[in-house]
Amino acid sequence: EDQVTQSPEALRLQEGESSSLNCSYTVSGLRGLFWYRQDPGKGPEFLFTLYSAGEEKEKERLKATLTKKESFLHITAPKPEDSATYLCAQQETSGSRLTFGEGTQLTVNP
Amino acid sequence: DAGVTQSPTHLIKTRGQQVTLRCSPKSGHDTVSWYQQALGQGPQFIFQYYEEEERQRGNFPDRFSGHQFPNYSSELNVNALLLGDSALYLCASSHREIKGYTFGSGTRLTVV
């Protein structure tokens, strides 16, 4: 069964301390790799979609990259408002469903 | 422009009861997917509706059923509720030509 594995499960950073979140995916035919941000009690908020290995996308302090079996979400100089759970999801070419990982809970302390 | 709207926001039901959750997709979207998210877990795909038909289904029992109306809105029905059905139920809408999904804020279902 296709799986998505995210690491670490939880990450605590000081404000300004850059780091990366990892997402490993298993689907052989990747239609898209999605990153979402989710605040407590809210629905996931779309961040990025990556389609092919080598692709990179940026938004403010976030940059997402994609390799053949992994994606990374790099957070540069994070602020407390970046605290949230970050979810990644794979979408295979044979369908449109998203398969999510369990997320990385990020806490940024001031 | 309203995004995805879900109702109700919270719901408490008793074991064995039935529940109906509702979703209005984002303007311009024609496809609706439903996900179940247990506490501390990632969302799990339940099913997807397009052109008023179920197009894809995840690993959920037949107690979970749905419907899509001509205006693209959708309902999720769950029969014979179990304690384990307690979760955040998310609706996501998209357009068949676009790969992105927009999620609603969800319905928090508690089964007691």
Report whether B99 contacts A49 (CB < 8 A): yes
The 8-class DSSP code of residue A92 comes to: E
Q: How far is B4 from chain A (nearest CA, A)?
A: 10
State pLDDT tens for residues A85-97: 999 999 987 778 8
Q: Is B100 close to A98, i.e. CB distance below 8 A?
A: no
Q: Is A34 close to B42, i.e. CB distance below 8 A?
A: no
Task: Examine the pLDDT at B97 and tell me if it is beyond 80.
Answer: no
Task: Examine the pLDDT at B19 and tell me if it is beyond 80.
Answer: yes
State pLDDT tens for residues A8-49: 999 999 999 999 999 999 888 888 999 999 999 899 999 999
Backbone angles phi, psi at B83, to 5 degrees: -55, -35
State pLDDT tens for residues B100-111: 799 999 999 999
Query: What is the per-residue pLDDT for A94?
Result: 76
| B58 contacts in chain A (CB < 8 Å) | 97
Q: Is B101 close to A31, i.e. CB distance below 8 A?
A: no
Q: How far is CA A95 from CA A17, A19, A65, A70, in A?
A: 38, 33, 23, 20
Task: Provide the 3-class DSSP secondary structure of residue B83.
Answer: helix
| A32 contacts in chain B (CB < 8 Å) | 99
